């Protein structure tokens, strides 16, 4: 509980645990709205449900129509795809072509994993319409949980709950007059924290190298090849106005230098490297334990 006397509402959704804390108890119909929002999001984007909207793209070329909030998601992915030179993409690697979906494609055993298809080659995402030229897996995992955090915050605001903390297993959005102190989990020891931040009408998201969906294999592979000590990013945290942006940037920090992101996004960041050093921007200054 962020503050004494607050109420919390917990549930499971999109494969993770959620806790919504509010200064006054949530009315049952608001709880229902929250759950419906999660269910809708899952139905739209889940890669693991054959009945989800995006799963239609896996079955063949075609078009789907996404909800209105997909426009913001598209924008953040588009920007990060561009800034990262294609490293950060909603098209997950080893396109389904590789699995034989493309009739003209002959499977060739190869030691090297196939990269994700290029956005411009296979995908047209304009407004709320997504069209694919080949069967593909659209994965919005790097920003989707954050966006759902934001959407739940919207449900709370429109229902008149102005003091809240939405916590989607570590991706959080805070609103109201009572800031919440959040510990930054030690990348390899969940019993420890490396610092704390004060969350005050802002979102905080984290990403760790060992749970990321893609791009992650890279430093392990490099390490195996070179045998060099790993000097790479192992964990990142970001603070931004929206959890969607914070979530996406926390992932992007694994592939892109912060300065390139700062040119286009207003956010604070913290990176911890495998050698135990950390670099950070203003919002995290003085927040790490020494």
Partner 1 sequence: MTTPLRKSLYVGFASVSIIGTAAGCAPTTEAPSTQTPATQNGGQASTGSPSASTSAGNGGSTYKDGTYSADGTYTSPNGQETVGVELKLAGDKVSAVNITVHPSNPNTKKFQGEFASGIAAQIVGKDIDELNVSKVAGSSLTSGGFNDAVKQIKSQAK
- Residue 201 binds to partner 1 (criterion: CB under 8 A): no
Residue 163 interacting with partner 1 (CB under 8 A):
no
94 binds partner 1 (CB under 8 A): no
Q: Residue 224 is encoded by which pair of tokens? A: 């195996």
User: What residues between 164 and 193 interact with partner 1 by CB under 8 A?
Assistant: 165, 167, 169-172, 180-193
Per CB under 8 A, does 149 bind partner 1? no
* Measured distance CA(134)–CA(118) in Å, rounded: 11
Q: Which residues of 107-118 are buried (b: 16+ CB within 10 A; e: fewer)?
A: eeeeeeeeebbe
Residue 131 has which token pair?
Answer: 């069209």
Side by side, the strands of the sheet bearing 171-175 are: 7-13, 16-22, 164-168, 171-175, 203-208, 233-240, 268-273, 278-280
Query: Could you tell me which stretch among 46-54, 65-73, 147-155, 224-232 binds partner 1 (CB under 8 A)?
Result: 224-232
Decide if residue 245 touches partner 1 (CB under 8 A): no
Please list, residue by residue across 66-78, b when 16 or more beta carbons sit within 10 angstroms of its beta carbon and e when fewer do.
Answer: beebbeebbebbe
Count residues binding partner 1 (CB under 8 A).
59
Please count the residues of the chain: 290
Binding status of residue 230 toward partner 1 by CB under 8 A? yes
Q: Choose which of 173, 249, 261, 272 interacts with partner 1 (CB under 8 A).
A: 272
* By the rule CB under 8 A, 19 interacts with partner 1: yes
Contact of 247 with 267, CB cutoff 8 Å: no
Stretch that binds partner 1, among 44-52, 108-116, 130-138, 200-208 (CB under 8 A): 200-208
Q: Kindly list the residues in this chain that would bind partner 1 in the complex (CB under 8 A).
A: 1-3, 10, 16-17, 19, 165, 167, 169-172, 180-196, 199, 204-208, 210-213, 216-217, 220, 223-224, 229-230, 234-235, 237, 272, 274-278, 288-290
């Amino acid at each position: 509980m962020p503050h004494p006397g607050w109420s919390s509402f917990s549930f499971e959704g999109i494969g993770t645990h959620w806790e919504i804390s509010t200064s006054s108890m949530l009315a049952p119909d608001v709880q229902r709205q929250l759950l419906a929002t999660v269910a809708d999001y899952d139905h739209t984007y889940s890669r693991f449900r054959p009945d989800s909207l995006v799963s239609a793209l896996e079955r063949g070329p075609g078009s789907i129509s996404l909800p209105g909030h997909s426009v913001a998601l598209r924008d953040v992915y588009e920007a990060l795809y561009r800034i990262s030179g294609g490293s950060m993409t909603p098209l997950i690697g080893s396109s389904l072509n590789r699995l034989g979906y493309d009739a003209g494609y002959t499977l060739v055993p190869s030691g090297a994993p196939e990269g994700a298809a290029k956005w411009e080659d296979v995908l047209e995402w304009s407004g709320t319409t997504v069209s694919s030229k080949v069967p593909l897996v659209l994965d919005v995992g790097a920003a989707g949980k954050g966006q759902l955090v934001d959407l739940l915050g919207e449900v709370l605001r429109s229902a008149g709950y102005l003091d809240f903390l939405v916590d989607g297993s570590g991706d959080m959005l805070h609103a109201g007059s009572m800031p919440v102190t959040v510990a930054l989990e030690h990348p390899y020891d969940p019993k420890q924290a490396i610092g704390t931040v004060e969350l005050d009408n802002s979102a905080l998201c984290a990403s760790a190298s060992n749970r990321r969906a893609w791009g992650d294999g890279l430093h392990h592979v490099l390490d195996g090849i070179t045998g060099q000590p790993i000097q790479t990013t192992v964990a990142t945290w970001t603070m931004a106005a929206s959890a969607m942006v914070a979530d996406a940037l926390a992932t992007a920090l694994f592939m892109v230098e912060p300065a390139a992101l700062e040119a286009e996004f207003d956010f604070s960041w913290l990176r911890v490297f495998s050698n135990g050093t950390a670099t950070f921007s203003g919002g995290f200054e003085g927040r790490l334990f020494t």
